[in-house]
Amino acid sequence: MIRQVLYSLFKKPATNLYPAQKLEMPKGYRGKLVFYPEKCIGCKMCMKDCPTGAITINKIAEKKFEAVIDLGKCIYCAQCVDSCIKKALEVTKDVTLAQLDDKKLKVVFGSDSENNRTEKQAP
Ligand code: SF4
Ligand code: SF4
């Protein structure tokens, strides 16, 4: 018993001191989605296959699309990524998604007039 107590006192903790220590997620981890508007052709296969209705693709101009993703509804299954033949969606290892205001979980991924990728909260 004493041996076990001493061992536990000096061994490295099994948990991480998050958020003080950054988490390194394993390869293949399915975290926050990113959308590449320049690759999207607006076929909406991602929308059709999403089991929770978390993703919406909107046409914003000729051959220009934005993705509205509700990170609160998303179950991070990556079905939309698999369904996208143009590789316009990708999962990242980003897990820092908690918000006090649930409106902040609705994110619009699009592009600005210079075709730079943008990410903003839905109105
Ligand atoms: S499946 Fe891919 S190309 Fe089709 S609408 Fe979705 S993101 Fe765009
Ligand atoms: S990861 Fe799954 S739940 Fe989230 S938007 Fe894609 S298909 Fe829908």
pLDDT of 72 reads 93
C-alpha pair distances (Å), 121 with each of 3, 63, 68: 54, 22, 9
Please give the domain boundaries of the chain with CATH numbers for all domains.
25-121 (3.30.70.3270)
Locate 66 and state its tokens: 């934005």
Q: Is 46 in the pocket of ligand 1 (CB under 6 A)?
A: yes
pLDDT of 83 reads 98
**Residue 14, Cβ density class (10 Å: 0-12 exposed, 13-18 middle, ≥19 buried):** exposed
Provide the greatest CA pair distance for the chain. Answer: 73
For ligand 2, what atom is nearest to the CA of residue 77? 2
pLDDT of 19 reads 83
| β partners of residue 109 | 67, 119
pLDDT of 29 reads 95
If you ran DSSP here, which 8-state letter would residue 105 be given? Answer: G
| pTM of the complete model | 0.85
Taking the centre of ligand 2 as the mean of its atom positions, its distance from the CA of residue 108, in whole angstroms, is: 15
How many alpha carbons fall within 13 Å on the CB side of residue 6? 3
Q: Is 42 in the pocket of ligand 1 (CB under 6 A)?
A: yes
Asked if 109 contacts 35 with a C-beta cutoff of 8 angstroms, the reply is yes
Regions of the chain with pLDDT less than 70? none
The distance from CA 14 to its chain's CA centroid, rounded to whole angstroms, is: 26
**pLDDT tens-digit map of 26-56:** 999 999 999 999 999 999 999 999 999 999 9
